[in-house]
Structure 1
Amino acid sequence: MNDAKLGQVFALLEAALLECEEEPQNALRLAALAKAFESTFGYVWKHFKREADQAGLETYSPRDALKAAAQLKLIDDLELWNQFLNARNLSVHDYLGMDDVVVVELVQKFRAEVQRLLD
């Protein structure tokens, strides 16, 4: 995958994650991590949608794009990516209500998956 903007938001995600790993109880850092996660997820699913469109698969939503990405072998674990989508949906509405440790652990998994796409 070669997407400059995705690379930029991914760098912000990594920086926010490092900050949260250093001080996990800091609400401001967690808010930054949630926003970086949302932005990165947005770029990734839109990349999946473009790939699906090029392959002739119709996608109308992020969930459709994830299914198409699995069909196209862009991702290995559709269930994990659906967890990322559900977390993104929750974080958009209430990132302060999510458990801090769970958020950081999920974003760590997400970072690894996105890094695999970028390599």
Structure 2
Amino acid sequence: MDKPNDIRWQQRFQNFNKAFQYLKDTLTIKEPSDAERAGIIQFYEVAFELAWKTLKDFLTAEGFSVKSPREALKTAFQNDYINNGDLWINALDSRNLSAHTYDEAMAKELVENIKTIYFPLLEDFDEWGKQQINE
């Protein structure tokens, strides 16, 4: 791997890991208030953004050329760097929707999806990144 690109994705992954830990901590709140729910959503948006950008940088280091989040996710899935490609695309769509719209029912549904679907996806990504760094 090219050293600057190798270092770049690892630095980005460290930032992802910090955001992921904040998300993990906020998900322990049993009955989140409106403000706490907004915090969960914000931590999810940041963690997801850093996850796809980490993938983009990793793929670049591997010799791929990707420009968009969707392209990064598809390429990573097609090359077995991530699993559950459809769920990653759904996570992207939810992140896009949450960043541009707000309504209480949607926020509650998104928090539930973050807890049950998207957090486990990011948790798997966290493990993947740690394994890649240790190789």
State the TM-score bracket (shorter-chain normalisation).
0.7 to 0.9
Task: State the AA in 1 paired with 2:67.
Answer: Y
Please list every run of 5 or more consecutive structure 2 residues that lacks an aligned counterpart in the other structure.
1-8, 128-135
Q: Kindly indicate whether the alpha-carbon contact (under 8 Å) linking 1:31 and 1:96 is maintained by their aligned counterparts in 2.
A: no
Q: CA RMSD in A?
A: 1.7
The one of 19, 41, 51 aligned to 1:44: 51
Aligned residues: 115
Distance, in Å, in 2 between the alignment partners of 1:40 and 1:117 is 11
TM-score by length of 1: 0.86
The one of 21, 24, 29 aligned to 1:14: 24
Tell me what 2:83 maps to.
76
Superposed structure 1 runs of 4+ greater than 3 Å apart = none
Tell me what 2:39 maps to.
32
Distance, in Å, in 2 between the alignment partners of 1:95 and 1:59 is 30
- Give 1:39 shift: 0.3
- Give 1:99 shift: 4.7
TM-score by length of 2: 0.77
Could you tell which deviates more after superposition, 60-69 or 1-10? 1-10
Q: Percent identity?
A: 29
Distance, in Å, in 2 between the alignment partners of 1:9 and 1:51 is 18
* Larger-gyration structure (1/2): 2
